[in-house]
Amino acid sequence: MTEKPWLAHYPPEVPHTLSYPSMPVQEYLTHAYEKFPDKVAIHFLGKDITYHELYDSSKRFANYLQTLGIKKGDRVSIMLPNCPQAVISFYGVLYAGGVVVMTNPLYTEREIAYQMNDSGAKAIVSLDILFPRISKVVKETKLENVIITGIKDYLPFPKNLVYPMVQKKQYGMTVKVEHRGINHLFTEIMKVASTEVATTPFDFEEDLALLQYTGGTTGSPKGVMLTHKNLISNATMCDSWLYKGMNGEETIMGIIPLFHVYGLTTVLILSVMQGNRMVLLPKFEPETALKTINKQKPTLFPGAPTLYIGLMNHPDIGKYDLSSIEACLSGSAPLPADVQEKFEKITGGKLVEGYGLTETSPVTHSNLLWGERVKGSIGMPYPDTDCKIFLPGTTDPVPNGQIGEIAIKGPQVMKGYWKRPEDTAATIVDGWLLTGDLGYMNDEGFFFIVDRKKDMIIAGGFNIYPREIEEVLYEHEAVQECVVAGVPDAYRGETVKAYIVQKEGYNVSEEEFNTYCREHLASFKVPRIYEFRKELPKTAVGKILRRSLVDEEIAKQDEAVPS
Protein backbone atom coordinates (compact mmCIF):
# COMPACT_ATOMS: atom_id res chain seq x y z
CA MET A 1 0.00 0.00 0.00
CA THR A 2 1.49 3.35 -1.11
CA GLU A 3 2.21 5.78 1.68
CA LYS A 4 0.30 9.04 1.13
CA PRO A 5 -1.16 8.13 -2.28
CA TRP A 6 -2.93 11.50 -2.38
CA LEU A 7 0.34 13.30 -3.08
CA ALA A 8 0.23 11.96 -6.66
CA HIS A 9 -2.88 14.12 -7.21
CA TYR A 10 -1.37 17.37 -5.91
CA PRO A 11 -1.06 20.00 -8.65
CA PRO A 12 2.52 21.26 -9.24
CA GLU A 13 1.66 24.54 -7.53
CA VAL A 14 0.98 22.87 -4.14
CA PRO A 15 4.15 21.71 -2.37
CA HIS A 16 4.13 18.44 -0.43
CA THR A 17 5.69 20.15 2.57
CA LEU A 18 5.67 23.76 3.72
CA SER A 19 7.85 26.04 5.83
CA TYR A 20 6.26 27.85 8.76
CA PRO A 21 7.67 31.11 10.15
CA SER A 22 8.51 30.75 13.84
CA MET A 23 6.65 33.85 14.98
CA PRO A 24 3.47 34.71 16.88
CA VAL A 25 0.20 35.03 14.99
CA GLN A 26 -0.02 38.79 15.59
CA GLU A 27 3.20 39.39 13.65
CA TYR A 28 1.23 38.86 10.45
CA LEU A 29 -0.71 42.03 11.30
CA THR A 30 2.56 43.86 11.88
CA HIS A 31 3.82 42.73 8.46
CA ALA A 32 0.53 43.65 6.73
CA TYR A 33 0.63 47.10 8.31
CA GLU A 34 4.22 47.62 7.17
CA LYS A 35 3.47 46.44 3.63
CA PHE A 36 -0.08 47.77 3.08
CA PRO A 37 -0.65 50.60 5.62
CA ASP A 38 -3.30 52.39 3.54
CA LYS A 39 -5.02 49.29 2.16
CA VAL A 40 -8.50 48.45 3.50
CA ALA A 41 -8.28 45.56 5.94
CA ILE A 42 -11.95 45.44 7.02
CA HIS A 43 -15.18 46.53 5.39
CA PHE A 44 -18.09 46.55 7.83
CA LEU A 45 -21.57 47.69 6.86
CA GLY A 46 -20.27 50.67 4.89
CA LYS A 47 -17.22 51.51 7.01
CA ASP A 48 -13.64 50.86 5.86
CA ILE A 49 -10.72 50.29 8.24
CA THR A 50 -7.16 50.32 6.89
CA TYR A 51 -4.32 48.08 8.01
CA HIS A 52 -2.75 51.13 9.66
CA GLU A 53 -5.92 51.74 11.68
CA LEU A 54 -6.30 48.05 12.55
CA TYR A 55 -2.70 47.82 13.73
CA ASP A 56 -2.93 51.05 15.74
CA SER A 57 -6.20 50.03 17.40
CA SER A 58 -4.92 46.54 18.23
CA LYS A 59 -1.80 47.99 19.86
CA ARG A 60 -3.92 50.42 21.88
CA PHE A 61 -6.12 47.59 23.04
CA ALA A 62 -3.04 45.57 24.02
CA ASN A 63 -1.62 48.50 25.95
CA TYR A 64 -4.87 48.92 27.87
CA LEU A 65 -5.03 45.23 28.72
CA GLN A 66 -1.51 45.40 30.11
CA THR A 67 -2.47 48.41 32.26
CA LEU A 68 -5.32 46.26 33.61
CA GLY A 69 -2.75 43.67 34.65
CA ILE A 70 -3.09 41.15 31.81
CA LYS A 71 0.17 39.20 31.62
CA LYS A 72 1.62 36.51 29.41
CA GLY A 73 -0.67 33.48 29.35
CA ASP A 74 -3.69 35.21 30.93
CA ARG A 75 -6.97 34.34 29.23
CA VAL A 76 -9.23 37.03 27.77
CA SER A 77 -12.68 36.17 26.43
CA ILE A 78 -14.01 37.73 23.21
CA MET A 79 -17.79 37.43 23.02
CA LEU A 80 -18.55 39.31 19.81
CA PRO A 81 -20.19 38.72 16.44
CA ASN A 82 -18.28 39.48 13.24
CA CYS A 83 -17.33 43.15 13.61
CA PRO A 84 -14.13 45.23 13.63
CA GLN A 85 -13.91 45.05 17.43
CA ALA A 86 -13.61 41.25 17.24
CA VAL A 87 -10.55 41.56 14.99
CA ILE A 88 -9.01 44.38 17.04
CA SER A 89 -9.58 42.46 20.28
CA PHE A 90 -8.12 39.23 18.87
CA TYR A 91 -4.85 40.82 17.84
CA GLY A 92 -4.83 43.10 20.89
CA VAL A 93 -5.00 40.16 23.29
CA LEU A 94 -2.15 38.44 21.44
CA TYR A 95 0.02 41.60 21.35
CA ALA A 96 -0.51 41.84 25.12
CA GLY A 97 0.79 38.26 25.52
CA GLY A 98 -2.61 36.85 26.42
CA VAL A 99 -4.59 33.84 25.24
CA VAL A 100 -7.85 34.42 23.38
CA VAL A 101 -10.98 32.58 24.55
CA MET A 102 -13.56 32.82 21.80
CA THR A 103 -17.08 32.83 23.28
CA ASN A 104 -20.33 32.41 21.38
CA PRO A 105 -22.53 35.55 21.77
CA LEU A 106 -25.59 33.27 21.89
CA TYR A 107 -24.45 31.66 25.13
CA THR A 108 -26.82 31.68 28.07
CA GLU A 109 -25.78 32.89 31.52
CA ARG A 110 -25.05 29.33 32.62
CA GLU A 111 -22.87 28.69 29.57
CA ILE A 112 -20.99 31.98 30.03
CA ALA A 113 -20.29 31.18 33.69
CA TYR A 114 -19.08 27.69 32.82
CA GLN A 115 -16.67 28.85 30.12
CA MET A 116 -15.32 31.76 32.18
CA ASN A 117 -14.70 29.48 35.17
CA ASP A 118 -13.21 26.65 33.14
CA SER A 119 -10.85 28.97 31.23
CA GLY A 120 -10.10 31.22 34.19
CA ALA A 121 -10.60 34.28 31.98
CA LYS A 122 -9.63 37.54 33.67
CA ALA A 123 -11.41 39.85 31.23
CA ILE A 124 -14.19 39.69 28.67
CA VAL A 125 -14.95 41.85 25.63
CA SER A 126 -18.62 41.85 24.71
CA LEU A 127 -21.55 43.69 23.13
CA ASP A 128 -23.67 46.16 25.08
CA ILE A 129 -26.83 44.07 24.51
CA LEU A 130 -25.10 41.09 26.14
CA PHE A 131 -23.99 43.07 29.19
CA PRO A 132 -27.07 42.13 31.32
CA ARG A 133 -26.23 38.43 30.88
CA ILE A 134 -22.61 38.96 31.89
CA SER A 135 -23.57 41.15 34.86
CA LYS A 136 -25.66 38.37 36.35
CA VAL A 137 -22.78 35.89 36.45
CA VAL A 138 -19.65 38.01 36.78
CA LYS A 139 -19.43 37.47 40.56
CA GLU A 140 -19.47 33.69 40.04
CA THR A 141 -16.34 33.91 37.87
CA LYS A 142 -12.74 35.16 38.02
CA LEU A 143 -13.51 38.02 35.66
CA GLU A 144 -11.81 41.20 36.83
CA ASN A 145 -12.73 43.46 33.91
CA VAL A 146 -15.63 43.72 31.46
CA ILE A 147 -15.04 45.67 28.24
CA ILE A 148 -18.18 46.71 26.40
CA THR A 149 -18.71 47.85 22.84
CA GLY A 150 -21.65 48.20 20.47
CA ILE A 151 -22.27 47.57 16.79
CA LYS A 152 -22.84 51.34 16.38
CA ASP A 153 -19.28 52.07 17.53
CA TYR A 154 -17.88 51.08 14.13
CA LEU A 155 -20.73 52.10 11.84
CA PRO A 156 -20.34 55.05 9.46
CA PHE A 157 -22.39 58.23 9.83
CA PRO A 158 -25.43 58.34 9.87
CA LYS A 159 -25.89 54.60 10.50
CA ASN A 160 -24.21 55.01 13.91
CA LEU A 161 -26.98 57.43 14.95
CA VAL A 162 -29.83 55.34 13.61
CA TYR A 163 -28.64 51.96 14.89
CA PRO A 164 -29.58 52.46 18.59
CA MET A 165 -33.21 52.90 17.49
CA VAL A 166 -33.02 49.78 15.33
CA GLN A 167 -31.47 47.90 18.25
CA LYS A 168 -34.22 49.01 20.63
CA LYS A 169 -36.89 47.89 18.18
CA GLN A 170 -35.15 44.57 17.45
CA TYR A 171 -34.13 43.61 20.99
CA GLY A 172 -36.57 45.69 23.02
CA MET A 173 -33.74 47.15 25.06
CA THR A 174 -31.23 49.97 25.27
CA VAL A 175 -28.21 49.26 27.45
CA LYS A 176 -26.10 52.03 28.91
CA VAL A 177 -22.78 51.03 30.48
CA GLU A 178 -20.62 53.54 32.34
CA HIS A 179 -16.83 53.55 32.12
CA ARG A 180 -16.05 52.92 35.77
CA GLY A 181 -15.18 50.15 38.22
CA ILE A 182 -14.60 46.87 36.40
CA ASN A 183 -16.59 48.10 33.40
CA HIS A 184 -14.78 49.72 30.49
CA LEU A 185 -15.97 51.15 27.18
CA PHE A 186 -14.17 50.12 24.00
CA THR A 187 -14.54 53.61 22.53
CA GLU A 188 -12.90 55.19 25.59
CA ILE A 189 -10.03 52.70 25.45
CA MET A 190 -9.28 53.76 21.87
CA LYS A 191 -9.11 57.40 23.03
CA VAL A 192 -6.89 57.03 26.10
CA ALA A 193 -4.60 54.05 25.47
CA SER A 194 -1.09 54.29 24.09
CA THR A 195 0.34 52.15 21.28
CA GLU A 196 3.31 51.21 23.48
CA VAL A 197 3.19 47.52 24.37
CA ALA A 198 5.62 45.65 26.61
CA THR A 199 7.04 42.63 24.78
CA THR A 200 6.88 39.16 26.31
CA PRO A 201 9.07 36.09 25.70
CA PHE A 202 7.65 33.77 23.05
CA ASP A 203 7.75 30.03 22.33
CA PHE A 204 6.35 29.12 18.88
CA GLU A 205 5.82 25.46 19.73
CA GLU A 206 4.35 25.76 23.22
CA ASP A 207 2.67 29.13 23.72
CA LEU A 208 -1.12 29.13 23.42
CA ALA A 209 -2.81 31.64 21.16
CA LEU A 210 -6.35 30.34 21.53
CA LEU A 211 -8.62 28.35 23.82
CA GLN A 212 -11.44 27.24 21.53
CA TYR A 213 -14.28 25.39 23.22
CA THR A 214 -15.88 22.42 21.51
CA GLY A 215 -19.65 22.26 21.13
CA GLY A 216 -20.12 19.98 24.10
CA THR A 217 -22.42 17.48 22.36
CA THR A 218 -20.96 14.78 24.61
CA GLY A 219 -20.70 16.15 28.12
CA SER A 220 -19.36 19.58 29.10
CA PRO A 221 -17.53 21.62 26.44
CA LYS A 222 -13.75 21.16 26.44
CA GLY A 223 -11.21 23.90 25.87
CA VAL A 224 -9.02 23.01 22.88
CA MET A 225 -5.51 24.40 23.33
CA LEU A 226 -4.27 25.81 20.03
CA THR A 227 -0.74 27.21 19.87
CA HIS A 228 0.65 29.91 17.61
CA LYS A 229 2.25 27.10 15.62
CA ASN A 230 -1.10 25.33 15.20
CA LEU A 231 -2.87 28.42 13.82
CA ILE A 232 0.00 29.60 11.61
CA SER A 233 0.48 26.10 10.21
CA ASN A 234 -3.17 25.74 9.26
CA ALA A 235 -3.46 29.20 7.74
CA THR A 236 -0.29 28.53 5.72
CA MET A 237 -1.79 25.25 4.48
CA CYS A 238 -4.98 27.07 3.42
CA ASP A 239 -2.85 29.67 1.65
CA SER A 240 -1.02 26.95 -0.31
CA TRP A 241 -4.33 25.39 -1.39
CA LEU A 242 -5.45 28.76 -2.82
CA TYR A 243 -2.47 28.87 -5.18
CA LYS A 244 -4.31 30.88 -7.86
CA GLY A 245 -5.04 33.65 -5.39
CA MET A 246 -3.19 36.96 -5.45
CA ASN A 247 -2.13 38.04 -1.98
CA GLY A 248 -3.22 41.58 -1.26
CA GLU A 249 -5.78 41.49 -4.09
CA GLU A 250 -8.46 39.16 -2.71
CA THR A 251 -11.63 40.05 -0.83
CA ILE A 252 -12.76 37.45 1.70
CA MET A 253 -16.43 37.22 2.65
CA GLY A 254 -16.72 36.94 6.43
CA ILE A 255 -20.16 35.56 7.24
CA ILE A 256 -18.94 32.42 8.98
CA PRO A 257 -18.54 33.41 12.67
CA LEU A 258 -15.07 34.48 13.76
CA PHE A 259 -15.79 33.04 17.22
CA HIS A 260 -15.68 29.62 15.54
CA VAL A 261 -12.17 28.41 14.70
CA TYR A 262 -13.18 27.81 11.06
CA GLY A 263 -14.02 31.48 10.58
CA LEU A 264 -11.06 32.56 12.68
CA THR A 265 -8.54 30.70 10.50
CA THR A 266 -10.05 30.99 7.02
CA VAL A 267 -11.32 34.57 7.28
CA LEU A 268 -9.49 36.52 9.99
CA ILE A 269 -6.00 34.99 10.15
CA LEU A 270 -5.75 34.04 6.46
CA SER A 271 -6.94 37.47 5.32
CA VAL A 272 -4.36 39.32 7.42
CA MET A 273 -1.64 36.80 6.48
CA GLN A 274 -2.27 37.55 2.80
CA GLY A 275 -2.87 41.28 3.22
CA ASN A 276 -6.39 40.93 1.82
CA ARG A 277 -9.63 42.74 2.58
CA MET A 278 -12.26 41.02 4.73
CA VAL A 279 -15.93 41.94 4.44
CA LEU A 280 -17.67 41.24 7.73
CA LEU A 281 -21.36 40.73 8.46
CA PRO A 282 -22.48 40.36 12.11
CA LYS A 283 -25.09 37.71 11.27
CA PHE A 284 -26.38 35.76 8.31
CA GLU A 285 -29.39 37.29 6.63
CA PRO A 286 -29.69 36.00 3.04
CA GLU A 287 -30.86 39.29 1.52
CA THR A 288 -28.18 41.36 3.28
CA ALA A 289 -25.55 38.81 2.26
CA LEU A 290 -26.67 38.89 -1.39
CA LYS A 291 -26.61 42.70 -1.46
CA THR A 292 -23.16 42.71 0.12
CA ILE A 293 -21.75 40.19 -2.35
CA ASN A 294 -23.27 42.16 -5.24
CA LYS A 295 -21.66 45.41 -4.05
CA GLN A 296 -18.39 44.38 -2.39
CA LYS A 297 -17.40 41.69 -4.94
CA PRO A 298 -15.80 39.07 -2.67
CA THR A 299 -13.54 36.56 -4.41
CA LEU A 300 -13.21 34.02 -1.58
CA PHE A 301 -16.17 32.81 0.44
CA PRO A 302 -15.52 30.23 3.19
CA GLY A 303 -18.82 28.95 4.46
CA ALA A 304 -21.06 26.09 5.45
CA PRO A 305 -23.75 24.24 3.46
CA THR A 306 -26.55 26.05 5.28
CA LEU A 307 -25.17 29.44 4.12
CA TYR A 308 -25.01 28.39 0.49
CA ILE A 309 -28.46 26.76 0.73
CA GLY A 310 -29.90 29.91 2.30
CA LEU A 311 -28.55 32.09 -0.52
CA MET A 312 -29.60 29.74 -3.33
CA ASN A 313 -33.17 29.50 -2.07
CA HIS A 314 -33.70 33.24 -1.75
CA PRO A 315 -36.51 34.17 -4.17
CA ASP A 316 -34.64 37.24 -5.47
CA ILE A 317 -31.22 35.64 -6.03
CA GLY A 318 -31.51 36.38 -9.77
CA LYS A 319 -31.38 40.13 -9.06
CA TYR A 320 -27.83 39.95 -7.69
CA ASP A 321 -24.44 39.48 -9.36
CA LEU A 322 -22.48 36.76 -7.55
CA SER A 323 -19.93 36.25 -10.32
CA SER A 324 -17.04 37.76 -8.33
CA ILE A 325 -16.89 34.58 -6.21
CA GLU A 326 -13.99 32.43 -7.39
CA ALA A 327 -13.42 29.95 -4.57
CA CYS A 328 -15.47 28.61 -1.68
CA LEU A 329 -14.35 26.06 0.90
CA SER A 330 -17.33 24.50 2.67
CA GLY A 331 -16.91 23.08 6.15
CA SER A 332 -18.67 22.24 9.44
CA ALA A 333 -21.11 19.78 7.81
CA PRO A 334 -21.37 17.49 4.76
CA LEU A 335 -21.80 19.37 1.47
CA PRO A 336 -24.62 17.83 -0.60
CA ALA A 337 -23.60 17.31 -4.24
CA ASP A 338 -26.76 19.05 -5.43
CA VAL A 339 -25.87 22.20 -3.45
CA GLN A 340 -22.35 22.21 -4.84
CA GLU A 341 -23.49 21.93 -8.45
CA LYS A 342 -26.19 24.60 -8.20
CA PHE A 343 -24.00 27.11 -6.37
CA GLU A 344 -21.20 26.70 -8.90
CA LYS A 345 -23.68 27.23 -11.74
CA ILE A 346 -25.03 30.42 -10.15
CA THR A 347 -21.64 31.97 -9.32
CA GLY A 348 -19.30 30.49 -11.90
CA GLY A 349 -16.83 29.88 -9.05
CA LYS A 350 -15.61 26.71 -7.39
CA LEU A 351 -17.23 25.27 -4.27
CA VAL A 352 -15.53 22.29 -2.65
CA GLU A 353 -16.00 20.33 0.53
CA GLY A 354 -13.33 20.32 3.19
CA TYR A 355 -12.99 18.61 6.54
CA GLY A 356 -11.55 19.38 9.91
CA LEU A 357 -12.14 19.69 13.62
CA THR A 358 -11.69 22.29 16.32
CA GLU A 359 -8.80 20.10 17.49
CA THR A 360 -7.00 20.59 14.15
CA SER A 361 -7.21 24.40 13.88
CA PRO A 362 -9.46 23.30 11.97
CA VAL A 363 -8.80 22.18 8.34
CA THR A 364 -7.13 18.86 7.51
CA HIS A 365 -8.65 17.81 4.15
CA SER A 366 -10.10 19.42 1.08
CA ASN A 367 -10.95 18.72 -2.49
CA LEU A 368 -8.88 20.66 -5.01
CA LEU A 369 -10.42 23.93 -6.09
CA TRP A 370 -8.75 23.85 -9.50
CA GLY A 371 -8.04 20.19 -10.05
CA GLU A 372 -9.33 16.68 -9.59
CA ARG A 373 -12.14 16.24 -7.13
CA VAL A 374 -14.28 13.25 -6.30
CA LYS A 375 -18.02 13.46 -5.71
CA GLY A 376 -18.97 12.70 -2.12
CA SER A 377 -15.36 12.91 -0.93
CA ILE A 378 -13.87 15.35 1.57
CA GLY A 379 -10.81 15.33 -0.67
CA MET A 380 -7.25 14.71 0.39
CA PRO A 381 -5.05 15.80 3.29
CA TYR A 382 -3.35 19.19 3.26
CA PRO A 383 0.46 19.45 2.94
CA ASP A 384 2.32 18.06 5.99
CA THR A 385 -0.91 16.37 7.12
CA ASP A 386 -0.99 12.59 7.47
CA CYS A 387 -4.21 10.63 7.74
CA LYS A 388 -4.97 6.98 8.39
CA ILE A 389 -8.04 4.85 8.94
CA PHE A 390 -7.82 2.79 12.12
CA LEU A 391 -9.90 -0.09 13.37
CA PRO A 392 -12.14 1.72 15.92
CA GLY A 393 -10.72 1.52 19.42
CA THR A 394 -7.20 0.72 18.15
CA THR A 395 -4.32 2.23 16.19
CA ASP A 396 -4.34 -0.66 13.71
CA PRO A 397 -4.74 0.53 10.08
CA VAL A 398 -7.47 -1.07 7.98
CA PRO A 399 -7.25 -1.83 4.24
CA ASN A 400 -8.25 0.79 1.65
CA GLY A 401 -12.00 0.93 1.22
CA GLN A 402 -12.77 -0.43 4.68
CA ILE A 403 -14.60 1.78 7.17
CA GLY A 404 -12.77 2.76 10.33
CA GLU A 405 -11.96 5.76 12.51
CA ILE A 406 -10.19 8.69 10.88
CA ALA A 407 -6.91 9.63 12.58
CA ILE A 408 -4.88 12.79 11.90
CA LYS A 409 -1.27 13.78 12.42
CA GLY A 410 0.19 17.19 11.54
CA PRO A 411 1.45 20.54 12.85
CA GLN A 412 -2.13 21.86 13.11
CA VAL A 413 -3.14 19.23 15.71
CA MET A 414 -3.93 20.75 19.11
CA LYS A 415 -1.61 20.71 22.08
CA GLY A 416 -4.40 19.05 24.07
CA TYR A 417 -7.53 19.77 26.10
CA TRP A 418 -7.33 22.51 28.73
CA LYS A 419 -6.88 20.97 32.20
CA ARG A 420 -8.05 17.56 30.91
CA PRO A 421 -5.01 15.31 30.62
CA GLU A 422 -7.12 12.14 30.63
CA ASP A 423 -9.23 13.35 27.70
CA THR A 424 -6.07 14.44 25.87
CA ALA A 425 -4.46 11.01 26.39
CA ALA A 426 -7.61 9.27 25.11
CA THR A 427 -7.78 11.48 22.00
CA ILE A 428 -4.10 11.77 21.00
CA VAL A 429 -2.64 8.27 20.89
CA ASP A 430 0.91 7.62 19.65
CA GLY A 431 0.86 11.08 18.07
CA TRP A 432 -2.40 10.42 16.20
CA LEU A 433 -5.53 12.48 16.85
CA LEU A 434 -8.48 10.08 16.94
CA THR A 435 -11.30 12.12 15.42
CA GLY A 436 -14.33 10.02 16.34
CA ASP A 437 -15.37 10.21 12.69
CA LEU A 438 -15.94 7.08 10.64
CA GLY A 439 -14.74 6.96 7.06
CA TYR A 440 -12.52 5.27 4.53
CA MET A 441 -9.81 6.02 1.97
CA ASN A 442 -9.95 4.73 -1.60
CA ASP A 443 -6.90 3.48 -3.50
CA GLU A 444 -6.30 6.94 -4.99
CA GLY A 445 -5.95 8.59 -1.57
CA PHE A 446 -9.31 10.37 -1.47
CA PHE A 447 -11.15 10.23 1.85
CA PHE A 448 -14.85 9.74 2.51
CA ILE A 449 -16.75 10.46 5.72
CA VAL A 450 -19.38 7.92 6.59
CA ASP A 451 -20.48 9.55 9.83
CA ARG A 452 -19.61 10.57 13.33
CA LYS A 453 -18.96 7.47 15.41
CA LYS A 454 -21.52 8.69 17.92
CA ASP A 455 -24.10 9.48 15.20
CA MET A 456 -24.10 6.02 13.67
CA ILE A 457 -27.53 4.38 14.00
CA ILE A 458 -27.79 0.76 15.05
CA ALA A 459 -31.26 -0.43 14.09
CA GLY A 460 -32.23 -4.09 14.18
CA GLY A 461 -28.56 -5.05 14.27
CA PHE A 462 -27.68 -3.01 11.15
CA ASN A 463 -25.11 -0.18 11.19
CA ILE A 464 -26.73 2.77 9.41
CA TYR A 465 -24.92 6.01 8.52
CA PRO A 466 -27.14 9.14 8.49
CA ARG A 467 -24.99 10.93 5.91
CA GLU A 468 -25.78 8.34 3.23
CA ILE A 469 -29.53 8.84 3.72
CA GLU A 470 -29.16 12.63 3.82
CA GLU A 471 -27.34 12.60 0.48
CA VAL A 472 -30.29 10.76 -1.07
CA LEU A 473 -32.82 13.16 0.45
CA TYR A 474 -30.88 16.21 -0.74
CA GLU A 475 -31.20 14.93 -4.31
CA HIS A 476 -35.00 15.25 -4.03
CA GLU A 477 -36.17 18.47 -5.66
CA ALA A 478 -38.39 19.42 -2.70
CA VAL A 479 -35.71 19.23 0.02
CA GLN A 480 -34.12 22.47 1.16
CA GLU A 481 -32.51 21.07 4.33
CA CYS A 482 -32.60 17.75 6.11
CA VAL A 483 -31.01 15.75 8.89
CA VAL A 484 -31.35 12.08 9.77
CA ALA A 485 -31.03 10.72 13.29
CA GLY A 486 -31.47 7.52 15.22
CA VAL A 487 -34.26 7.84 17.77
CA PRO A 488 -35.05 5.31 20.51
CA ASP A 489 -37.20 2.35 19.47
CA ALA A 490 -38.34 -0.34 21.90
CA TYR A 491 -38.18 -3.08 19.28
CA ARG A 492 -35.24 -2.18 16.98
CA GLY A 493 -33.10 -0.34 19.56
CA GLU A 494 -33.07 2.71 17.34
CA THR A 495 -35.08 3.66 14.31
CA VAL A 496 -34.29 6.04 11.45
CA LYS A 497 -36.04 9.40 11.51
CA ALA A 498 -35.73 12.13 8.87
CA TYR A 499 -36.33 15.81 9.69
CA ILE A 500 -37.02 17.78 6.50
CA VAL A 501 -37.43 21.44 5.58
CA GLN A 502 -39.17 21.64 2.21
CA LYS A 503 -38.53 24.35 -0.35
CA GLU A 504 -41.14 27.07 -0.73
CA GLY A 505 -44.00 25.90 -2.91
CA TYR A 506 -43.52 22.18 -2.20
CA ASN A 507 -45.72 19.97 -0.07
CA VAL A 508 -44.44 16.41 -0.56
CA SER A 509 -46.09 13.85 1.70
CA GLU A 510 -44.49 11.28 3.98
CA GLU A 511 -45.73 8.51 1.68
CA GLU A 512 -44.09 10.12 -1.36
CA PHE A 513 -40.77 10.49 0.45
CA ASN A 514 -40.99 6.89 1.61
CA THR A 515 -41.50 5.68 -1.97
CA TYR A 516 -38.60 7.83 -3.16
CA CYS A 517 -36.21 6.56 -0.47
CA ARG A 518 -37.12 2.93 -1.16
CA GLU A 519 -36.04 3.46 -4.76
CA HIS A 520 -32.59 4.66 -3.69
CA LEU A 521 -31.79 2.90 -0.40
CA ALA A 522 -31.73 -0.60 1.05
CA SER A 523 -34.92 -1.21 3.00
CA PHE A 524 -33.20 -1.18 6.42
CA LYS A 525 -31.85 2.34 5.72
CA VAL A 526 -35.19 3.87 4.72
CA PRO A 527 -36.50 6.33 7.34
CA ARG A 528 -39.42 4.91 9.32
CA ILE A 529 -40.51 8.36 10.52
CA TYR A 530 -40.60 11.72 8.70
CA GLU A 531 -41.08 15.06 10.39
CA PHE A 532 -41.53 18.27 8.41
CA ARG A 533 -40.28 21.51 9.93
CA LYS A 534 -39.97 25.16 8.94
CA GLU A 535 -36.38 25.21 10.19
CA LEU A 536 -33.80 22.98 11.86
CA PRO A 537 -31.81 23.81 15.01
CA LYS A 538 -28.25 24.89 14.18
CA THR A 539 -25.04 26.05 15.77
CA ALA A 540 -23.84 29.59 15.07
CA VAL A 541 -21.59 28.24 12.32
CA GLY A 542 -24.55 26.61 10.59
CA LYS A 543 -24.09 23.00 11.64
CA ILE A 544 -27.40 21.22 12.16
CA LEU A 545 -27.78 20.06 15.77
CA ARG A 546 -28.67 16.42 15.27
CA ARG A 547 -28.15 15.63 18.95
CA SER A 548 -30.67 18.23 20.14
CA LEU A 549 -33.32 16.64 17.92
CA VAL A 550 -32.58 13.23 19.44
CA ASP A 551 -32.77 14.72 22.95
CA GLU A 552 -36.09 16.32 22.03
CA GLU A 553 -37.39 12.93 20.85
CA ILE A 554 -36.27 11.22 24.04
CA ALA A 555 -38.00 13.90 26.14
CA LYS A 556 -41.26 13.44 24.17
CA GLN A 557 -41.12 9.68 24.68
CA ASP A 558 -40.46 10.13 28.42
CA GLU A 559 -43.49 12.44 28.71
CA ALA A 560 -45.66 9.84 26.98
CA VAL A 561 -44.78 7.13 29.52
CA PRO A 562 -47.37 7.02 32.36
CA SER A 563 -45.82 7.84 35.74
Amino acid at 242: L
For 337-390, the pLDDT digits (tens) are: 888 999 999 999 999 999 999 999 999 999 999 998 898 899 999 999 999 999
DSSP string for residues in 517-562: HHHHS-GGGS-SEEEE-S---B-TTS-B-HHHHHHHHHHHHHHHS-
Residue 440, pLDDT score: 96
Task: Flag whether pLDDT at 111 surpasses 90.
Answer: no
pLDDT band at 219 (very low <50, low <70, confident <90, very high): low
Residue 430 backbone class (left: φ over 0; alpha: ψ -120 to 50; beta: rest): left
Residue ranges of the chain that CATH labels 3.40.50.980:
50-201
Residue 215, pLDDT score: 58
For 117-126, the pLDDT digits (tens) are: 999 999 999 9
CB atoms within 10 A of CB 394: 12
Number of helical H runs and strand E runs in the chain: 17, 26
Residue ranges of the chain that CATH labels 3.30.300.30:
456-560
CATH of domain 456-560: 3.30.300.30
Residue 562, pLDDT score: 61
Element (H, E) at 100: strand 99-102
pLDDT over 90, % of the chain: 76
Task: Flag whether pLDDT at 239 surpasses 90.
Answer: yes
Q: If DSSP codes are grouped into helix, strand and coil, which group holds residue 470?
A: helix
Residue 94, pLDDT score: 98
For 395-436, the pLDDT digits (tens) are: 999 999 999 999 999 999 999 999 999 999 999 999 999 998
Residue 232, pLDDT score: 98
The candidate with the shortest Cα–Cα distance to 64, out of 95, 28, 87, 32, is 95
Residues 6+ apart with CB under 8 A from 474: 336, 337, 338, 339, 482
For 39-68, the pLDDT digits (tens) are: 999 999 999 999 999 999 999 999 999 999
Residue 504, pLDDT score: 93
For 484-506, the pLDDT digits (tens) are: 999 988 767 789 999 999 999 99
Fold of 50-201: Rossmann fold (3.40.50)
Residues 6+ apart with CB under 8 A from 285: none
The chain-wide mean pLDDT, for the chain, equals 92
Higher pLDDT, residue 485 or 164? 485
